[in-house]
């Protein structure tokens, strides 16, 4: 009986510690794409620098040891980004981080061929901030350019 009670107490504390770390993570960050800069490339691969604004809605600093994400433009995959630099996002604040990514030349050509001045350029980004004690997922979308904005024509 004593072994069963001891086991239950151990399970309780392990569960409590697991839940406590989950509760301490707080709200997910808001991640916005602020810029995408083409870098050098080859016939099969294109390098991009993706600048991300990470907003921390929590009342504590986010100390991330890395980031990974997938960036889609108009619903089509553009790039997968991985970064292992330490990122500190102050409480109730934001910071901008640049991540070098690569994508296939085919994905860039597909994006270019699907581009139209008659529709806007939207993005969605999903990924995770890697923290010391786990991962914090994020998922966000936005508009890079409104319909007609790139052509110089006024949008209605």
Domains and CATH numbers, the chain: 27-145 (2.60.40.1820)
pLDDT of residue 144: 77
| Tens digits of residue pLDDT in 4-48 | 555 544 555 544 444 444 444 689 999 999 999 999 988 899 999
pLDDT of residue 22: 45
- The count of residues in the chain is 156
DSSP code of 40? E
pLDDT of residue 116: 61
Position 55 pLDDT exceeds 50: yes
Higher pLDDT, 109 or 80: 80
Confidence label for 58 from pLDDT (cuts 50, 70 and 90): very high
Tokens 């707080």: give the residue: 26
Whether this model's pTM surpasses 0.85: no
| Tens digits of residue pLDDT in 90-138 | 999 999 999 999 888 888 777 777 766 556 788 999 999 999 889 999 9
Cα–Cα nearest to 78, from 51, 46, 42: 46
Confidence label for 1 from pLDDT (cuts 50, 70 and 90): low
Position 2 pLDDT exceeds 80: no
**DSSP letters for 42-79:** -SSEEEEEEEEEEEE-SSS-EEEEEEEEEEEETTEEEE
**DSSP letters for 100-150:** EEEEEHHHHHHHHHH--TTS-EEEEEEEEEEETTEEEEEEEEEEEE-TTTT
* Residues 6 or more apart whose Cβ sits within 8 Å of residue 32: 52, 53, 55, 140, 142
* Interatomic CA distance for residues 154 and 37, integer angstroms: 25
pLDDT of residue 16: 46
């Amino acid at each position: 009986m004593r072994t069963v009670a001891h086991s239950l107490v151990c399970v309780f504390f392990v569960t409590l510690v697991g839940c406590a770390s989950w509760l301490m993570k707080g709200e997910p960050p808001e991640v916005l794409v602020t810029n995408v800069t083409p870098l050098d490339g080859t016939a099969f691969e294109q390098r991009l620098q993706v600048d991300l604004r990470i907003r921390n809605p929590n009342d504590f600093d986010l100390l991330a040891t890395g980031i990974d994400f997938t960036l889609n433009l108009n619903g089509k995959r553009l790039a997968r980004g991985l970064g292992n630099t330490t990122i500190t996002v102050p409480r109730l604040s934001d910071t901008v981080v640049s991540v070098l990514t690569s994508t296939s030349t085919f994905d860039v050509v597909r994006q270019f061929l699907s581009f139209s001045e008659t529709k806007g350029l939207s993005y969605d980004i999903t990924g995770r901030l890697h923290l010391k004690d786990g991962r914090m997922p994020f998922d966000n979308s936005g508009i890079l350019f409104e319909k007609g904005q790139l052509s110089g024509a006024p949008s209605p």
